[in-house]
């Protein structure tokens, strides 16, 4: 490695013609310089992954795959503080959020190491002397496209099952976290992983990503990002009948019933809105409250959001860091301005334009009360710390409003009646529904979206199956 962050392809460090600069969203300062990849780097990475899959024993070596995944987990864990610090510098999120993200990635890799050793086949004598059996096989080359909002955790979430299944991989990482990307690639390169099994390139544009989707040498795409881009990927991937795992946009309804513990609910609602500065597919961006407690909850939220300390992610007093860049600040603020035509302002946040934070991309959270569900602020993913406050009458009304968008990634229900919690959770159309908690995932259990929030599942048994084909063997005894 040089001082300019490079790509890691076929076991070697690779440069590009173009370069870019990574900036700290907290102050606009330079974090580092990186080589900015594209189609050429993607093509080299695909070729390396294809060769490694077709000509080595990687796909058949369960023990070796488990060992490599354990090695990667060990490297990340050993450098966890440094990696989290770098992520906070580039991404802007609070250090505690970065530290949790790295720990989550380590857990996913260790879970993958265990999954690699599983033999999930089946066998039966279906008739006298006639034997059927099935065995999972790796699907081939996996293209993994990772977003900037949680690049360490979301990389591991796809990479771990892909490697556990026996796939070789091409990883496109975002330019916003280029220096973090290079550190991850360095940690992987320090293991005994065979050349070509994991190939990593950073790209600010989309040419390399498009090639991953179009190439017949890539067998599966695992993408996390916007629904708009997910639709484009699905359309292009259809030309090669490529397997897809798409975790897309969300508009998480946080449904608060009148019997909820409001002290607990308020604390969780604030965290759900401000984690990653609201730049999260599971951000609690819709607060649905039963009418009997609406006035009290509105006031509690108004006070909590007004008092929230916004600041740099490396400041332990900060409760929310900056957005990823100033363009995002302007985009979010425009959406809030436009909402004035149909919404009542509970808390009007906005850009921080004076004082020591003015040089950064800071945005104070906003809460806007709406009566209709067909308005843009309800129907569109903001990807920032902006929430709607919506009042419902009863359980039927709560479910109707919770399901009123095209999204279905996650939801949360707050009630002391656990039977109600289970009942409402069954009726909400979302891939994950929490009761009296938010944001908790586990590698043993699947994660993914309903409706326009995605295709397929990550984590759990289905997360592994996304990178496998099933082959059936038939034998007849003589």
- CATH number of the domain to which 360 belongs: 3.40.309.10
Tell me, what DSSP letter sits at residue 163? H
Residue 421 CB neighbours (<10 A): 21
Number of H helices, E strands in the chain: 15, 25
Domain around 123: 4-248+453-476
Residue 271 lies in a domain: yes
Residue 294 lies in a domain: yes
Residue 122 CB neighbours (<10 A): 11
- The CA-based angle 205-209-212, given to 5 degrees, is 160
The pLDDT tens digits along the chain (478 residues) read 458 999 999 999 999 999 999 999 999 999 999 999 999 999 999 999 999 999 999 999 999 999 999 999 999 999 999 999 999 999 999 999 999 999 999 999 999 999 999 977 899 999 999 999 999 999 999 999 999 999 999 999 999 999 999 999 999 999 999 999 999 999 999 999 999 999 999 999 999 999 999 999 999 999 999 999 999 999 999 999 999 999 999 999 999 999 999 999 999 999 999 999 999 999 999 999 999 999 999 999 999 999 999 999 999 999 999 999 999 999 999 999 999 999 999 999 999 999 999 999 999 999 999 999 999 999 999 999 999 999 999 999 999 999 999 999 999 999 999 999 999 999 999 999 999 999 999 999 999 999 999 999 999 999 999 999 999 999 998 7
User: Both 229 and 329 in a single domain?
Assistant: no
Cα distance between residue 76 and residue 264, in whole Å: 33
User: Both 282 and 300 in a single domain?
Assistant: yes
Residue 448 lies in a domain: no
Residue 62 lies in a domain: yes
List, in order, residues 6 or more apart from 266 with CB less than 8 Å away. 297, 300, 301, 304
User: Both 152 and 182 in a single domain?
Assistant: yes
Tokens at residue 300, please? Answer: 């509690």
Cα distance between residue 328 and residue 411, in whole Å: 25
- Write 366-369 long-range contacts (CB < 8 A, 24+): 366/305, 366/336, 367/287, 367/301, 367/302, 367/305, 368/336, 368/339, 368/343, 368/344, 369/298, 369/343, 369/344, 369/345
Q: Give Cα 354 to chain centroid, integer Å.
A: 32
The dihedral through the CA atoms of 282, 284, 286, 292 has a sign that is: positive
List, in order, residues 6 or more apart from 396 with CB less than 8 Å away. none
User: Both 161 and 262 in a single domain?
Assistant: no
User: Both 261 and 183 in a single domain?
Assistant: no
Cα distance between residue 478 and residue 206, in whole Å: 57
User: Both 275 and 210 in a single domain?
Assistant: no
Q: Give Cα 211 to chain centroid, integer Å.
A: 22
User: Both 237 and 264 in a single domain?
Assistant: no
User: Both 236 and 279 in a single domain?
Assistant: no
- CATH number of the domain to which 233 belongs: 3.40.605.10
Residue 87 lies in a domain: yes
Tokens at residue 474, please? Answer: 């038939």
Residue 235 lies in a domain: yes
Tokens at residue 37, please? Answer: 């990849």
What's the domain count of the chain?
2
Parallel, antiparallel, or unpaired for β 130-138 and 141-145?
A: unpaired
pTM of the predicted model as reported, rounded to 2 decimal places: 0.96
User: Both 329 and 421 in a single domain?
Assistant: yes
Cα distance between residue 255 and residue 298, in whole Å: 14
User: Both 287 and 259 in a single domain?
Assistant: yes
Residue pair 366/348 in contact (Cβ under 8 Å)? The answer is: yes
Residue 395 lies in a domain: yes
Residue 447 lies in a domain: no
User: Both 257 and 239 in a single domain?
Assistant: no
Tell me, what DSSP letter sits at residue 447? B
Q: Which residues are catalytic?
A: 247, 281
User: Both 185 and 295 in a single domain?
Assistant: no
């Amino acid at each position: 490695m040089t001082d300019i962050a490079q790509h890691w392809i076929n076991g070697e460090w690779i440069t590009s013609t173009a370069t870019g600069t990574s900036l700290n969203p907290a102050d606009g300062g330079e974090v580092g310089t990186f080589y900015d990849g594209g189609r050429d780097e993607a093509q080299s990475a695909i070729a390396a992954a294809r060769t490694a899959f077709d000509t080595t024993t990687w796909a058949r070596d369960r023990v070796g795959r488990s060992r490599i995944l354990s090695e990667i987990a060990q490297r990340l864990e050993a450098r966890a503080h440094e990696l989290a610090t770098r992520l906070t510098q580039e991404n802007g999120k609070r250090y505690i959020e970065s530290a949790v993200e790295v720990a989550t990635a380590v857990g996913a890799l260790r879970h993958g190491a265990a999954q690699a050793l599983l033999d999930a086949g089946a066998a039966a004598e279906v008739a006298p002397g006639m034997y059927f059996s099935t065995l999972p096989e790796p699907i081939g080359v996996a293209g993994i496209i990772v977003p900037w909002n949680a690049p360490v955790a979301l990389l591991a979430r796809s990479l771990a099952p892909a490697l556990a299944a026996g796939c070789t991989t091409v990883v496109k990482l975002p330019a916003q976290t280029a220096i973090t990307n290079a550190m991850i690639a360095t940690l992987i390169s320090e293991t005994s992983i065979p050349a070509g099994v994991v190939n990593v390139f950073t790209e600010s544009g989309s040419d390399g990503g498009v090639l991953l989707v179009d190439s017949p040498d890539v067998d599966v795409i695992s993408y996390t990002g916007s629904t708009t881009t997910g639709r484009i990927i699905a359309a292009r991937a259809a030309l090669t009948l490529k397997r897809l795992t798409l975790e897309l946009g969300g508009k998480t309804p946080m449904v608060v019933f009148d019997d909820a513990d409001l002290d607990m609910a308020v604390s969780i609602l604030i965290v759900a809105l401000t984690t990653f500065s609201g730049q999260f597919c599971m951000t609690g961006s819709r607060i649905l409250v039963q009418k009997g407690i609406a006035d009290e909850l509105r006031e509690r939220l108004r006070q909590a959001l007004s008092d929230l300390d916004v600041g740099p992610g490396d400041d332990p007093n900060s409760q929310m860091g900056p957005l990823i860049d100033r363009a995002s600040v302007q985009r979010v603020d425009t959406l809030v301005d436009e909402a004035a035509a149909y919404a009542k302002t509970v808390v009007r946040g906005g850009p921080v334009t004076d004082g020591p934070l003015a040089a950064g991309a800071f945005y104070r959270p906003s809460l806007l009360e709406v009566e209709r569900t067909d308005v843009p602020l309800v129907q569109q993913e903001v990807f920032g710390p902006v929430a709607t406050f919506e009042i419902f009458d009863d359980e039927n009304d709560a479910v109707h409003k919770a399901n009123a968008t095209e999204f279905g990634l996650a939801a949360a229900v707050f009630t002391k009646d656990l039977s109600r919690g289970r009942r409402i959770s069954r009726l909400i159309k979302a891939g994950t529904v929490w009761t009296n908690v938010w944001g908790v995932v586990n590698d043993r259990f699947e994660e993914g979206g309903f409706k326009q929030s995605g295709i397929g599942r990550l984590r759990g048994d289905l997360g592994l199956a996304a990178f496998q084909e099933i082959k059936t063997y038939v034998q007849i005894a003589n």
